[in-house]
Structure 1
Amino acid sequence: MNGFAHAAAPLWGLDPAQVSLVAKRENEVWRAEGPGGPYALRLHRPGYRTAAELQSELDWMAMLAKGGLTVPRPIPSRTGRLVEVVGDTPVDLLTWMPGRMVGKQGALEGITDRAGHMHRLGALLARLHDLSDNWTPPEGFTRPRWDRPGLLGETPLWGPFWANPDLTSAQRATLRQVQIRAEADLAARETALDYGLIHADAITENVMVDGETLVLIDFDDGGWGFRDFDLATVLMRQLTAADYPALRAALLEGYAARRTVDEAALDLLLLCRALTYLGWIIPRRDEPGGEERSRRAVATALPLAETYLETSDV
């Protein structure tokens, strides 16, 4: 997409020679230098999000930034649009966020007060949920749904987790049993659960530290979902940490200062979060490191699934 980035830069009045690749994950992110400071030029994978979904993501982020949350703010192009299309590639421009990424694969790198960090992150997610609840999305707003069908239906949002090729036949049978039981469990709880717009991907790679401020980036998977799912996403990467109980308690305490937490539902959604990665990796398994990530997803999800079957009373 190198040529696309260089072709897109002038749409925002930026010099193509001052654009450099900094990240290539679901999307490509390029750092674009400009008179107003650096910006993040995002090239979206064609076909991954509809035009309406991309516009909705940016409208939501703009509201959060205006509400005081430290998140990237979308910048209109010279034509006034938030999303431009170069070839078949949607492109947008965001303010460049200061600070450093917390870490990779759940590592809290350079964080000396680990519980304090989790407490601040819980409070940040609570503010995000508060602002979202107080906002009326514009007409046509559409984002993915991390609801019961999206997590445990026959066509989950991130794919059929029971079909992961690194599962044995016995493990697939276990996950099918979990799917049926967990779906009934969530159905019995869902009317009482807090539901609304969530980030859905507040992993360490998407949280930045700037002094005492936490910065939340990458809203690509954000959408409608159970609020405890945001907490579950944070906690899943910490399950094997020696201080996991303290990290969990701090995260929930920071969140519960503003909003309520259903701990029983949180455990169920932790299981659901782990299952999603089994499906997510299937179309990406042939990418560099894909097989290792797939096996890691299996190693995380299976113990949770087996414990759930042993302890649930649905």
Structure 2
Amino acid sequence: MTADLPKPFRDALDNRARQALAHWGVADQRPELLKYRENAVFRVGLADGRPAALRLHRSGYHGEAALRSELQWMAALGDGGLAVPQPIATKGGGLLVALPAEGEFGTQHADVIDWMDGEPLGESGRPLSHSPARLVEIFSALGASMAEMHNLADRWSPLDDFWRRAWDKDGLLGERPLWGRFWDCAGLSSAQGSALSVLRHGLRQDLATLPTPAKDFGLVHADLVRENVLVDATGVKFIDFDDAGWGYRLFDIATALLKNRREPAYGLIEAALISGYRSRRALTDEALAALPLFLVLRSLTYIGWFAARPELPGARERVRRYADETLALAEELAFR
């Protein structure tokens, strides 16, 4: 997503990054742009030579309170022993910098966090390259780390001004879901829109009648896709807490599993993740029976996400493809 950026914009983005880095005393470098989606993410060097990640947050996507809360939670998870990026303070001791509107950039915030070593678990749309035995190791560790993240979240007492969005009934299926109105967004055919509208109303009823064990709710990562799970010899690490917030714990599990459902070793993957999770946190069979519901809910989110970003390559085609895939998944899992 970086190679398609026009050179004048790339140059302006680099200058914006150096403007932010001045607050950390390391503006005299060329930051390496790694990703340009919700945030522009750069690999940078600190004054002591350590690598770090600079994030220029998308203007208007998260407010200052939400961004400070994200950094607070990441710090709390790190203090609890979880392998997640830790915020790095500016020369003045702050964790978040507000950049004024300038040129083609609106007012936005920037922060710098630890660089996390490791390779992404995989890439969406490409088969996983690990052996079945290695997949069991990785997904067992992923499940255990996810469960420990949920445990740490439950034990942690956020500050009074802590605020993050909620992946609850309204955030997923309300009139204004967090990632967009997936049933009436641009790019859908009329047949797709009608089918998704019917599905939405049915899922709202299903979500409202969840059995108590499936209602486990609290802080979640909300985006543990392959690219956000780093793997090395020490285990797994979680990155990109941009969408973290309040939500069902089964939503985290479903997110980690959804894009792997077509893998030949999916049975091993799911069993390993669940076993790893249960090694650190209770997850009853009654709760697990609601996993298909959350797989469909997660699949729905991608429709609205791409519809809201028509500038991305192939966005319109992806909207229709994700709609078809979600409707097929709902039928397969008996939600139609």
Coordinate RMSD, CA, aligned = 1.7
- Output the CA distance in 2 between the equivalents of 1:166 and 1:117: 37
Q: Residue 214 of structure 1 aligns to a residue in which SS?
A: strand
Task: Give the corresponding residue for 2:145.
Answer: 124
Does residue 302 in structure 1 map to residue 323 in structure 2?
A: no
8 Å Cα contact 2:150-2:220 kept in structure 1: yes
* 1:26-175 correspondence runs (5 A): 26-34=38-46, 35-87=48-100, 88-105=107-124, 107=126, 109-112=128-131, 113-175=134-196
Are the structure 2 counterparts of residues 307 and 102 from structure 1 closer, same or farther at C-alpha, using a change threshold of 3 Å?
A: closer
Deviation digits for residues 105-138 of structure 1, max 9, x if unmatched? 0646442211221111111100110111110001
Task: Give the corresponding residue for 1:23.
Answer: 35
- Output the CA distance in 1 between the equivalents of 2:200 and 2:326: 12
Moved more, 258-267 or 66-75: 258-267
Deviation digits for residues 31-83 of structure 1, max 9, x if unmatched? 11121401111100010000000000000000111111111000111121111
Task: Give the corresponding residue for 1:214.
Answer: 236
Q: CA deviation at 1:101?
A: 1.5
8 Å Cα contact 2:148-2:281 kept in structure 1: no
Are the structure 2 counterparts of residues 108 and 81 from structure 1 closer, same or farther at C-alpha, using a change threshold of 3 Å?
A: farther
Are the structure 2 counterparts of residues 190 and 59 from structure 1 closer, same or farther at C-alpha, using a change threshold of 3 Å?
A: farther
8 Å Cα contact 1:105-1:237 kept in structure 2: yes
Task: Give the corresponding residue for 2:9.
Answer: none
Does residue 177 in structure 1 map to residue 198 in structure 2?
A: yes
8 Å Cα contact 2:138-2:231 kept in structure 1: no
8 Å Cα contact 1:201-1:230 kept in structure 2: yes
Letter in 1 for 2:36: K
Report the TM-score, using the length of structure 2 for normalisation: 0.88
Q: Residue 260 of structure 1 aligns to a residue in which SS?
A: coil
Q: CA deviation at 1:187?
A: 0.7
Report the TM-score, using the length of structure 1 for normalisation: 0.94
Are the structure 2 counterparts of residues 106 and 215 from structure 1 closer, same or farther at C-alpha, using a change threshold of 3 Å?
A: farther
Does residue 240 in structure 1 map to residue 244 in structure 2?
A: no
- Output the CA distance in 1 between the equivalents of 2:208 and 2:265: 32
Query: Percent of aligned positions with the same letter in both sequences?
Result: 42
Q: What is the total number of aligned residue pairs between the two structures? A: 311
Moved more, 237-246 or 299-308: 299-308
Q: Residue 256 of structure 2 aligns to a residue in which SS?
A: helix
Task: Give the corresponding residue for 2:103.
Answer: none
- Output the CA distance in 1 between the equivalents of 2:216 and 2:230: 26
Moved more, 83-92 or 42-51: 83-92
Q: CA deviation at 1:186?
A: 0.7
Q: CA deviation at 1:149?
A: 0.8
- Output the CA distance in 1 between the equivalents of 2:310 and 2:211: 32
Deviation digits for residues 269-314 of structure 1, max 9, x if unmatched? 1110001111111111332232343243223211123345x557xx
- Output the CA distance in 1 between the equivalents of 2:274 and 2:212: 21
Are the structure 2 counterparts of residues 306 and 168 from structure 1 closer, same or farther at C-alpha, using a change threshold of 3 Å?
A: farther
Task: Give the corresponding residue for 1:281.
Answer: 306
- Output the CA distance in 2 between the equivalents of 1:191 and 1:163: 32
Q: Residue 60 of structure 2 aligns to a residue in which SS?
A: coil
- Output the CA distance in 1 between the equivalents of 2:129 and 2:258: 20
Q: CA deviation at 1:190?
A: 6.5
Task: Give the corresponding residue for 1:272.
Answer: 297
Unaligned runs of 5+ in 2: 1-12, 101-106
Task: Give the corresponding residue for 1:231.
Answer: 253
8 Å Cα contact 2:189-2:320 kept in structure 1: no
Task: Give the corresponding residue for 1:2.
Answer: 14
Deviation digits for residues 203-261 of structure 1, max 9, x if unmatched? 01111112232110000000000001001001110121122222111111111112233
Letter in 1 for 2:262: T
- Output the CA distance in 1 between the equivalents of 2:61 and 2:186: 23
Q: Residue 298 of structure 1 aligns to a residue in which SS?
A: helix
Q: Residue 68 of structure 1 aligns to a residue in which SS?
A: coil
- Output the CA distance in 2 between the equivalents of 1:296 and 1:100: 28
- Output the CA distance in 1 between the equivalents of 2:224 and 2:254: 10
Does residue 205 in structure 1 map to residue 227 in structure 2?
A: yes
